[in-house]
RNA sequence: GCCGGAGUGGCGGAAUCGGCAGACGCAGCGGACUUAAACUCCGUAGCCCGCAAGGGCGUCCGGGUUCGAAUCCCGGCUCCGGCACCA
């Protein structure tokens, strides 16, 4: 072997830019990662990563999301699975349209350019995507099936049309939430004040599945996501109760106002009513003297966002209508108010207010000087005790008090009796409500899937016949400098003959929410060119549900709930045979800009992966992204530390290429640690390698990539200490190197492939990719230890340690501990009051008074 | 505001069935190699006191439970994600 000083200059250096493109093209040539979906010789594994939106902001965040998933794909392949790991593009959406309006050009061009660039970057990552399965949602061959599915849902009664308000700018039409700026709520493009406008729009009936969506059995999903979805669906049981409007000098009364309540037992405490400002009876019930004030309030409430309206920390506002209602059990006349904290879209859009037992009603009553009447209380509380807050009762510890004023028998009973009593008189019914609303899919935009219906004066709403799908977007688009939907002005698109009667009719110009595209795309990956339907039933039966889905936690409720809904709806239309799309889910965190904000070009905080790849190579970037921190956490981007990961790969390179070299800078290079024999060293190497294998396998399974890499670094450091010594190149050394490369292969595919191929060449064996190797097995005998070190605490503070044989009994341990000089000195003649040997000898704590 | 998550050295983070706080890495410091620098390697390293041995303090803040708390409980603060037309 060469002498030290020379070895550093003579030995070939790790040069990723030479290695990586070579292996990438080799893998592509061999089609190493195209999946044979018909292969049944191995168990299938469908691994899905959320498909990217091809925004112009190509950044490190895309790598952060995809890299660990790719490592997992490789890990599973090494375990003998037939892995399907496809990729595609979520190609419709607002940013493309914004770019087109701003810079001219066509959303299609902008999108396809971004996709091209993204494909290149994703390839440079060395990821194992099955590119032949790719889908692009803006392709008519994809969105045709959106339309087809919509029509099936329409037939099944899952799609319907209803009025709904949008944010509206007189110049730019419908605005997305992010296009409404500031508390002034102005249009981002022209600055005009944003109005609300009611439009007929299309909905999907997600609420039909509300109860089924609450059932997560059989799903291995993170607990927080299940909780968020459960809260989002927001099931509450209660009753609907009718209150009658009392006659007065201006109107004859008698209208019924239906309220929803979860607390019918508190009906005797309902001292006023509140309607949503949008409630249909508001206009009719308003007293002429109150008209001006009410109209003003309704106007103001409509301008606010729901978040503002539901905020519990602002002062309650509202206006009395000047009309009264009658409490159906007490017969009392109670005033009717409108207030923005009641929403028209939840329950019946009206509530009975029970200020004693609901905090919002309490605050409202305080502000407007309304009666607060207690109905239930904790045991021992007087019925007239003053209240600082609403008492939200617990069923277990309350007792009923109060009102014998009108019907003593009812007042003493609970909610069920009251509802039953009212129900017999046709004034109430038990009811379950959900916070979940039906899914509004209409978008007043060009760049989305056209909703395939036609409006005919004679036949009304007419679905486009299947054989006329897809309804294509016109190829040219004229935005005319406005945000308004250009389809509204495109005569060639608009004008169509009614498929039923043949008379001139008009096309629907709304397009679909892009969440529609993303609610079933993984089924299409299995047969992207299938022309007889959206999915190939034989393939979906075999390959879905998806075994593992990974993606951002920002999709916890919307995309992940819509996808579950879609699968259930498709199943009920007979298209697939399953009711849940994703068996196991992992939500990774989001990588932010260095400033802690979301990465975007406009903020100027984008990290481009290309420059990092050029400087360090893809393997280093991949490894660094996995090493940065726990994958579910994300956080602000900082390249500090990428050099450490690069050094680690350099060390691996050196270990394999130059096992016998010696570092000139290390005075101890080439010699074993003092007191260690060659035999000791070989045992230590083998033990380190197998312990690492044991732990790393667990870390991969649990998505703990950062600690997985830390453990590989430790193993490399251990081996490095023996480099150039008599044990370098021994069979134990060789085995450890082999394990190190195999364990590292999923995370750093290029360098390991290169080093693997060199080892094969050196051994005169034929080439085989490291990525087709079998994951190694732990030798349990290599990891057993003969002794263990036990920390000793006195009164909970660490004071000493003692080494005992691994099989020492509790008595042996106690004796060893008490035999320590340091412990005797600390005890100073006292006997411990207690000796706690914790965790089967993991730690000893001596308790001394 | 509501729902969910997170706060640990100068920095990223490790340790969560209640049992050695700070693995691994970055930056720092000391050294080797080099004519020199870069690269590479070895060592050191929570903070405070101390020459040292050692001692005290320490996981966002305030309480509590326990032999023992980063971890469990109660109260609070800050930051991140979502809140239905960004994707």
Which of A346 and A603 is assigned the larger pLDDT? A346
Q: Using the predicted structure, report yes or no on whether residue A633 has a pLDDT greater than 70.
A: yes
Contact of A555 with A225, CB cutoff 8 Å: no
Can you tell me the distance from the alpha carbon of A524 to that of A472, in angstroms, rounded to the nearest whole number? Answer: 19
φ and ψ of A802, to 5 deg = -140, 140
* A 446-505: CB within 7 Å of strand B: none
Closest nucleotide (C1' vs CA) to A52 is B87
The whole-number pLDDT of residue A24 equals 95
pLDDT at A732 over 60: yes
Contact A343, A349 (CB under 8 A): yes
Is the CB atom of residue A15 positioned under 7 angstroms from any atom of strand B?
no
User: Whole-number Å distance, CA A51 to C1' B10?
Assistant: 39
Helix, coil or strand: residue A90: coil
Sequence-separated (6 or more) residues with CB below 8 Å from residue A89: A51, A52, A53, A54, A111, A115, A118, A134, A135, A136, A137
Q: Which of residues 196-215 of A touch strand B (CB under 7 A)?
A: 199, 201
Rounded to 10 deg, the angle between the A618-627 and A16-30 helix axes is 90
* A 287-316 residues, CB < 7 A, strand B: 305-307, 310-313
The spacing between the Cα labelled CA in A593 and the C1' in B80, in angstroms, equals 13
Closest nucleotide relative to residue A631's CA, C1' based: B13
A776 touches A83 (CB < 8 A)? no
Q: What is the pLDDT of residues A453-497, one digit of tens each?
A: 999 999 999 999 999 999 999 999 988 878 889 999 999 999 999
Q: Tell me the CA–C1' distance in angstroms for A814 and B45.
A: 34
First to last CA, chain A: 64
Q: Over range A574-596, report the average pLDDT.
A: 92
Q: Which residues contact A807 (CB under 8 A, 6 or more apart)?
A: none
Q: Which of residues 382-401 of A touch strand B (CB under 7 A)?
A: none
Q: Does the CB of A138 sit below 7 A from strand B?
A: no
Alpha-helix residue ranges (DSSP H) falling in A617-677: 618-627, 642-657
Residues 40-59 of A with CB under 7 A from strand B: 53
For the cut 90, the answer to whether the pLDDT of residue A669 exceeds it is: no
Nucleotide nearest to A798 (CA to C1'): B20
Protein-nucleic contacts, chain A 503-532 to strand B, CB < 7 Å? 513-515, 518
Distance of CA A62 to the CA centre of its chain: 15
Does the pLDDT at position A295 exceed 60? yes
Nearest to A87, CA basis, from A123, A140, A36? A123
Q: How confident is the model at residue A668 (pLDDT cuts 50, 70, 90)?
A: confident
Give the pairing type, strands A495-497 and A797-805: unpaired
Q: How far is the CA of A49 from the C1' of B70 (A)?
A: 33
Residues of A 663-682 whose CB lies less than 7 Å from any atom of strand B: 663-669
Whether A7 has a pLDDT exceeding 50, the answer reads no
The arithmetic mean of pLDDT across residues A166-188, rounded, is 90
Q: Take residue A676 and report the two structure tokens written for it.
A: 């260690």
User: Cα–Cα distance between A444 and A166 in angstroms, integer?
Assistant: 10
The pLDDT tens digits of the residues spanning A536-549 come to 999 999 999 999 99
CA A678 to chain centre: 52
The number of angstroms, rounded, from the C-alpha of A48 to the middle of its chain's C-alpha atoms is 13
Query: Which residue is closest to B31 in terms of CA–C1' distance?
Result: A665
The mean pLDDT of A588-604, rounded to a whole number, is 82
Question: Predicted confidence band at A399 (pLDDT cuts at 50, 70, 90)?
Answer: low
Residue A760 banded pLDDT, cuts 50, 70, 90: very high
d(CA A567, CA A363): 43
Which range, A2-16, A151-165, A304-318, A827-841, has the best average confidence (pLDDT)?
A: A151-165
Which residue in this structure is represented by tokens 């009975």?
A: A352
pLDDT tens digit string along A233-273? 999 999 999 999 999 888 888 899 999 999 998 898 999 99
Q: What is the pTM of this model?
A: 0.93
- What does the alpha-carbon distance between residue A182 and residue A208 come to, in Å, rounded to a whole number? 36
Averaged pLDDT, A769-785: 95
Q: How confident is the model at residue A176 (pLDDT cuts 50, 70, 90)?
A: very high
Kind plus residue range of the DSSP H or E element containing A791: strand A787-794
Query: Rounded CA gap, A774 and A78, in Å?
Result: 5
- A45-69: per-residue pLDDT in tens? 999 999 999 987 778 999 999 999 9
* C-alpha to C-alpha distance for A364 and A312, rounded to whole angstroms: 11
User: Given a cut of 90, is residue A600 above it in pLDDT?
Assistant: no
Quote the percentage of chain A above a pLDDT of 90: 72
Decide: CB of A6 under 7 A of nucleic strand B. no
Q: How does pLDDT run across A410-465, given as a tens digit for each residue?
A: 555 678 888 999 999 999 999 999 999 999 999 999 999 999 999 999 999 999 99
Please report the pLDDT score of residue A413 as a whole number.
67
CB A732 within 8 A of CB A686: yes
Closest of A573, A585, A561, A544 to residue A209, by C-alpha: A561
> CB of residue A8 closer than 7 A to nucleic acid strand B?
yes
Asked if residue A799 keeps its beta carbon closer than 7 A to nucleic acid strand B, the reply is: yes
Distance, CA of A294 to CA of A280 (rounded, Å) = 13
> Can you tell me the distance from the alpha carbon of A225 to that of A214, in angstroms, rounded to the nearest whole number?
12
Which of A537, A455, A436, A438 shows the shortest CA–CA distance to A494?
A455
pLDDT of A567 strictly over 90: yes
Mean model confidence pLDDT for chain A: 91
Q: Which residue is nearest to nucleotide B66 (CA to C1')?
A: A796
pLDDT at A8: 46
- At residue A20, does pLDDT exceed 70? yes
DSSP string, A678-717: HHHHHHHHHHHHHHHHHHHHHHHHTT-HHHHHHHHHHHHH
Q: Which nucleotide's C1' sits nearest to the alpha carbon of A663? A: B41
* A62 C-beta less than 7 Å away from strand B: no
For the cut 70, the answer to whether the pLDDT of residue A2 exceeds it is: no
Residue A6 has pLDDT above 50, yes or no: no
As ranges, strand B nucleotides with an atom below 7 A of a protein CB are 1-6, 11-15, 17, 19-21, 23-27, 31-34, 39-42, 55-56, 67-69, 79-87
Burial of A248 (0-12, 13-18, 19+ CB in 10 A): middle
Asked if the model's pLDDT at residue A379 lies above 80, the reply is no
Say how many residues make up chain A: 849
Nucleotide B74 C1' to residue A845 CA (A): 28
CA A645 / C1′ B45 distance in Å = 20
Query: Residue A442, CB, less than 7 Å from strand B?
Result: yes
Give strand letter and number of the nucleotide nearest A173 (CA to C1').
B85
Q: Which of A1-15, A91-105, A310-324, A692-706 has the lowest mean pLDDT?
A: A1-15
Tell me the pLDDT tens digit for each residue of A698-718: 999 999 999 999 999 999 999
Tell me which residues from 534 to 563 on chain A have a beta carbon below 7 angstroms from nucleic acid strand B: 553-558
User: Would the Cβ of A176 be found within 7 angstroms of any atom in strand B?
Assistant: yes
């Amino acid at each position: 072997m060469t002498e030290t000083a020379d070895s550093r200059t003579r030995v070939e250096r790790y040069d990723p830019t030479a290695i990586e493109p070579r292996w990438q093209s080799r893998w592509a040539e061999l089609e190493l990662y195209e999946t044979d979906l018909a292969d049944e010789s191995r168990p299938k594994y469908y691994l899905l990563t959320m498909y990217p939106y091809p925004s112009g902001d190509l950044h490190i965040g895309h790598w952060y999301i995809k890299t660990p998933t790719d490592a997992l794909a490789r890990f599973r392949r090494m375990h003998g699975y037939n892995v399907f790991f496809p990729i595609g593009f979520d190609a419709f959406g607002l940013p493309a349209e914004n770019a087109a309006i701003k810079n001219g050009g066509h959303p299609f061009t902008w999108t396809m350019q971004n996709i091209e660039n993204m494909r290149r970057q994703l390839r440079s990552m060395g990821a194992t995507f099955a590119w032949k399965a790719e889908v692009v949602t803006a392709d008519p061959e994809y969105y045709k099936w959106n339309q087809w599915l919509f029509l099936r849902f329409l037939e099944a009664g899952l799609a319907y049309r209803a009025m709904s308000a949008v944010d509206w700018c007189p110049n730019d039409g419908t605005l997305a939430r992010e296009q409404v700026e500031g508390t002034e709520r102005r249009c981002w493009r022209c600055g005009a004040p944003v109005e609300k406008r009611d439009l007929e729009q299309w909905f999907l009936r997600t609420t039909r599945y509300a109860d089924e969506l609450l059932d997560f059995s059989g799903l291995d999903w993170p607990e927080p996501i299940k909780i968020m979805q459960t809260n989002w669906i927001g099931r509450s049981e209660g009753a609907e109760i009718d209150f009658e409007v009392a006659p007065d000098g201006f109107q004859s009364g008698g209208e019924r106002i239906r309220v929803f309540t979860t607390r019918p037992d508190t009906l005797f405490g309902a001292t006023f009513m509140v309607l949503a400002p949008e409630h249909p009876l508001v206009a009719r019930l308003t007293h002429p003297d109150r008209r001006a004030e009410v109209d003003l309030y309704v106007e103001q409430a409509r301008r606010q966002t729901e978040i503002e309206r539901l905020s519990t920390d602002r002062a309650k506002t509202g206006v009395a209508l000047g009309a009264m209602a009658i409490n159906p059990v007490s017969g009392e006349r109670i005033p009717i108010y409108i207030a923005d904290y009641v929403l028209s879209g939840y329950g019946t859009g009206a509530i009975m207010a029970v200020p004693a037992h609901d905090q919002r009603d309490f605050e409202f009553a305080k502000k407007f000087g309304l009666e607060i009447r207690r109905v239930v209380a904790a045991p021992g509380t007087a019925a007239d005790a003053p209240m600082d807050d609403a008492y939200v009762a617990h069923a277990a510890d309350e007792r009923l008090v109060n009102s014998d004023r009108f019907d003593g028998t009812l007042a003493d009973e609970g909610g069920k009796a009251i509802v039953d009593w009212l129900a017999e008189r046709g004034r109430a019914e038990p009811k379950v409500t959900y916070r979940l609303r039906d899914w509004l899919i209409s978008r007043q935009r060009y760049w989305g899937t056209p909703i395939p219906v036609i409006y005919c004066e004679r036949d009304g709403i007419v679905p486009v016949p299947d054989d006329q799908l897809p309804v294509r977007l016109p190829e040219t688009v004229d935005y005319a400098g406005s945000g308004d939907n250009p389809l509204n002005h495109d005569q060639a698109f608009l004008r169509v003959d009614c498929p039923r009667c043949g008379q001139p009719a008009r096309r629907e110009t709304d397009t679909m929410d892009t969440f529609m595209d993303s609610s079933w795309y993984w089924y299409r990956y299995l047969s992207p060119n299938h022309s007889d339907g959206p999915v190939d039933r034989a393939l979906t039966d075999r390959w879905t549900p998806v075994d593992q889905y990974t993606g951002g936690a920002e999709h916890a409720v919307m995309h992940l709930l819509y996808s579950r809904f879609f699968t259930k709806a498709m199943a009920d239309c007979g298209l697939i045979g399953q009711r849940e799309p994703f068996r196991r889910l992992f939500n990774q965190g989001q990588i932010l800009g260095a400033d802690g904000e979301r990465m975007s070009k406009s903020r100027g905080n984008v990290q481009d992966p290309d420059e990092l790849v050029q400087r360090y190579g893809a393997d280093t970037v991949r490894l660094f992204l996995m090493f940065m921190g726990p994958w579910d956490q994300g956080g602000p981007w900082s390249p500090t530390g990428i050099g450490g990961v690069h050094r680690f790969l350099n060390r691996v390179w050196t270990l394999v290429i130059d096992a016998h070299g010696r570092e000139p800078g290390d005075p101890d290079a080439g010699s074993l640690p003092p007191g260690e024999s060659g035999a000791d060293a070989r045992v230590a190497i083998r033990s380190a390698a197998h312990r690492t294998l044991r732990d790393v396998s667990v870390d991969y399974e649990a998505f703990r990539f950062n600690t997985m890499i830390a453990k590989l670094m430790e193993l490399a450091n251990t081996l490095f200490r023996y480099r150039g010594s008599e044990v370098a190149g021994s069979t134990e050394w060789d085995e450890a190197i082999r394990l190190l490369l195999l364990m590292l292969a999923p995370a750093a595919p290029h360098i390991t492939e290169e080093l693997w191929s060199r080892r094969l060449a050196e051994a005169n064996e034929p080439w085989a990719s490291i990525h087709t190797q079998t994951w190694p097995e732990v030798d349990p005998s290599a990891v057993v230890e003969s002794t263990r070190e036990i920390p000793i605490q006195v009164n909970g503070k660490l004071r000493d340690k003692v080494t005992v044989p691994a099989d020492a009994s509790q008595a042996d341990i106690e004796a060893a501990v008490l035999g320590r000089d340091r412990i005797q000195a600390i005890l100073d003649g006292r006997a411990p009051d207690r000796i706690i040997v914790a965790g089967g000898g993991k730690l000893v704590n001596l308790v001394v008074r």
